[in-house]
Structure 1
Amino acid sequence: MVKIGNIELAEFPILLAPMEDVSDPPFRKVCKKFGADLMYTEFISSEGLIRHAIKSRAKLDIFDYERPIGIQLFGGDEEALAMATEIVDATGPDLVDINFGCPVKKVVCKGAGAAVLKDIPLMERLTKAVVKSTSLPVTVKTRLGWDENSKNIVEVAERLQDTGIKALTIHGRTRTQMYKGAADWTLIAKVKENPRMHIPVFGNGDIDSPQKALEYKNKYGVDGIMIGRAAIGNPFIFREVKHYLKTGQLLSPPTVDERVEACLEHLQFSIRWKGPRLGLIEMRSHYANYFKGLQNFKPLKIRLLTSDSLDEVYEILNEIRQIELV
């Protein structure tokens, strides 16, 4: 069993990564249904939260069936992060996660996310500010380093642990790599092998199949894995990975009907949570992933992406049930 503070997880937990504009409550609902052990909200700007930004506040919505769940914050100012942590603490998540890994320009330009990798003493101060502001377990998600010349994650992991964090997730790329090239898990393994480390270490990057999940578990010795992009439109991956780790057998891929049902559940919650208009529009980014590999899907996809009628979308989804997998 893996423990994050007082949170007990499975022996080898499978985590859902926090993804901007993806990991909202409707998406998390289907991922939880298919076996995600621990999930995180989309990252939330500490500055936006203390300024009462509507979008940031909406990201605080969590539901009891999601537990355990963490709320993820990013920011480059100690005082703002501490204040945001107190706001988050009051909403009752199970843990607070700090994002020191997001590579996108709009975050890095604010001195947050992966930008903090260039200033490790600042990273320590920011982390301490969060730890001091909550009684909840605090975790961190970060990368190997800023660039090829600063892959200092082994030292960084020790220093973060010393600030009081209860778990660490490492994405196997540098900031300059963004999401390009293959993730390098060798340094993640070195963090885990470090005799000074006693908190759980989770690996992230390029896990897109049950076979790879088992290979990386055995090869790199991590305490669990975090799945991000491979879960978009494919929440079944959590079920598939768990089954393969337990039995060594691959599950049959989801049927077309199962895909439609998962997409429908996602859509209906999206409508309830975001409202009819926004819920319908924001689901458009998910359809191609839910129905990847279907014969002659392109005409139906175009209709799904252009329809403003929920009833019409329901009709199209029912049409998709009749399609066979390639």
Structure 2
Amino acid sequence: MVKIANIELPDFPLLLAPMEDVTDPPFRAVCKENGADLLYTEFISSAGLIRDAIKCKRKLDIFDQERPVGIQIFGGDEESLSLASRIVDITNPDLLDINFGCPVKGVVAQGAGSGVLRDIDLMVRLTAACVKSTSLPVTVKTRLGWDEDSMNIEEVAERLQDVGIAALSIHGRTRMQMYKGEADWTLIGKVKNNPRIKIPIFGNGDINTPQKALEYKNRYGVDGIMIGRAAIGYPWIFREVAHYVKTGETLAPPTLAERVAVCKYHLQKSVAWKGPKAGIYDMRKHYFQYLKGLPNIKTYRSRLVLSTDPAEIEGVLDEILLAYADYEIPHAPIELVNYHENCPM
């Protein structure tokens, strides 16, 4: 069993990474039902939250069936992060996470996200301010460093632990890498195996097969894995990894009927939470991955994207189910979509 403060997780838990414009309640519900052990919200601007911005407040929506769930905030100012932490505390999530990892230019330009990696003293002060301002366990998600000349994650881990964080998730790239190249887990392993480190260490970056998850678990000794882009349109990654880690056996991929059923469920949740117009619009980015692997699917996918009626969309999905009834989707490694290129931040 892995514990984050008083939160009990199973051995080698699988975490859903916080992703802007992706990890909303409908998406989290789909991932939870398919085996994610700990969920995170989209990241929330501390300044926006303090201004009572409607979009930011909506990101605070959490539901009992998703627990344990953490709310993630970002900012580069001690006072605003402190105030935001108090606001988050009132909404009663299971933990508060600080985003020191987002590489998107709009966030970094605010001196937030991975922009804080250029000033480790500031990172420590910001973290301490959050820890002092909330009764919740505080965790951090970050990267190896700003660039290849400043990969100081070992120092960061020790100092953040010293000011009271309860767990640390590390993405195996620097900020300057964005999502290019291959994630390097070597330093993640060094942090985990540092005798000074007592808190759980979760690895993140490029996990797109159950085999890689088990390999990295064994090679680097991390307490669990955080999965982000691989779950977009493929929430089954969680159950597949969990099963493989436990048994060494590969689960069969989801059938087309499963894919269609989960896509419908996701759509229904999206419409219920955001309303018909926004809920349908938000689903458009998910269809490609849900239907990936089906030949000549472009026409159907175009109809899904252009439709503005939930019943019509479900009808198109039913057509797909009939048209491809005899087709078996091959089980291939998941393509990691670089959604950050279109990140609204």
Structure 1 and Structure 2 fold alike (TM over 0.5): yes
Name the counterpart of 1:23.
23
Task: For residue 223 of structure 1, report the CA deviation from its aligned partner.
Answer: 0.3
Name the counterpart of 2:79.
79
Task: For residue 307 of structure 1, report the CA deviation from its aligned partner.
Answer: 1.1
Name the counterpart of 1:299.
299
Q: Which amino acid aligns with 1:93?
A: P
Name the counterpart of 1:126.
126
1:143 equivalent to 2:143? Answer: yes
Task: For residue 28 of structure 1, report the CA deviation from its aligned partner.
Answer: 0.2
Name the counterpart of 1:325.
328
Matches within 5 A, 1:108-187: 108-187=108-187
Runs of 4+ more than 6 Å apart: none
Name the counterpart of 2:46.
46
1:200 equivalent to 2:200? Answer: yes
Q: Give the whole-Å Cα distance in 1 for the aligned partners of 2:122 and 2:223.
A: 27
Aligned residue pairs, count? 326
Q: TM-score, normalised by structure 1?
A: 0.99
Name the counterpart of 2:64.
64
Q: Which amino acid aligns with 2:81?
A: L
Could you list the per-position Cα deviations for residues 185-205 of structure 1 after superposition, in whole angstroms to 9, with x for gaps in the alignment?
000000011110000000000
SS in 2 for 1:61: coil
In the alignment, is the contact (CA less than 8 A) between 1:140 and 1:165 conserved in 2? yes
SS in 1 for 2:149: helix
Could you list the per-position Cα deviations for residues 165-202 of structure 1 after superposition, in whole angstroms to 9, with x for gaps in the alignment?
00000000000000110000000000011110000000
Matches within 5 A, 1:4-15: 4-15=4-15
Q: Which amino acid aligns with 1:298?
A: K
Q: Give the whole-Å Cα distance in 2 for the aligned partners of 1:103 and 1:325.
A: 38
In the alignment, is the contact (CA less than 8 A) between 1:293 and 1:325 conserved in 2? no
Q: TM-score, normalised by structure 2?
A: 0.94
In the alignment, is the contact (CA less than 8 A) between 1:96 and 1:137 conserved in 2? yes
Task: For residue 325 of structure 1, report the CA deviation from its aligned partner.
Answer: 3.3
| CA-based RMSD | 0.6
SS in 1 for 2:84: helix
1:223 equivalent to 2:223? Answer: yes
Q: Give the whole-Å Cα distance in 2 for the aligned partners of 1:228 and 1:245.
A: 18
SS in 1 for 2:42: coil
Q: Give the whole-Å Cα distance in 2 for the aligned partners of 1:220 and 1:320.
A: 42
Q: Which amino acid aligns with 1:265?
A: Y
Q: Where does structure 1 lack aligned partners over 5 or more consecutive residues?
A: none
Name the counterpart of 2:285.
285
Q: Give the whole-Å Cα distance in 1 for the aligned partners of 2:175 and 2:144.
A: 8
Task: For residue 94 of structure 1, report the CA deviation from its aligned partner.
Answer: 0.3
Matches within 5 A, 1:96-107: 96-107=96-107
In the alignment, is the contact (CA less than 8 A) between 1:39 and 1:70 conserved in 2? yes
Q: Give the whole-Å Cα distance in 2 for the aligned partners of 1:202 and 1:281.
A: 33
Name the counterpart of 2:242.
242
Name the counterpart of 2:36.
36
Could you list the per-position Cα deviations for residues 81-133 of structure 1 after superposition, in whole angstroms to 9, with x for gaps in the alignment?
00000000000000000000000000000000000000001000000000001
In the alignment, is the contact (CA less than 8 A) between 1:295 and 1:325 conserved in 2? no
SS in 1 for 2:216: helix
In the alignment, is the contact (CA less than 8 A) between 1:117 and 1:146 conserved in 2? yes
Name the counterpart of 2:255.
255
Could you list the per-position Cα deviations for residues 39-72 of structure 1 after superposition, in whole angstroms to 9, with x for gaps in the alignment?
1000000000000001100000000010000000
Q: Where does structure 2 lack aligned partners over 5 or more consecutive residues?
A: 330-345
Q: Give the whole-Å Cα distance in 2 for the aligned partners of 1:177 and 1:267.
A: 34
Q: Give the whole-Å Cα distance in 2 for the aligned partners of 1:223 and 1:55.
A: 33
Task: For residue 309 of structure 1, report the CA deviation from its aligned partner.
Answer: 1.9
Task: For residue 314 of structure 1, report the CA deviation from its aligned partner.
Answer: 1.1
Task: For residue 229 of structure 1, report the CA deviation from its aligned partner.
Answer: 0.3
SS in 2 for 1:321: helix
SS in 2 for 1:43: strand
Q: Give the whole-Å Cα distance in 2 for the aligned partners of 1:299 and 1:321.
A: 14
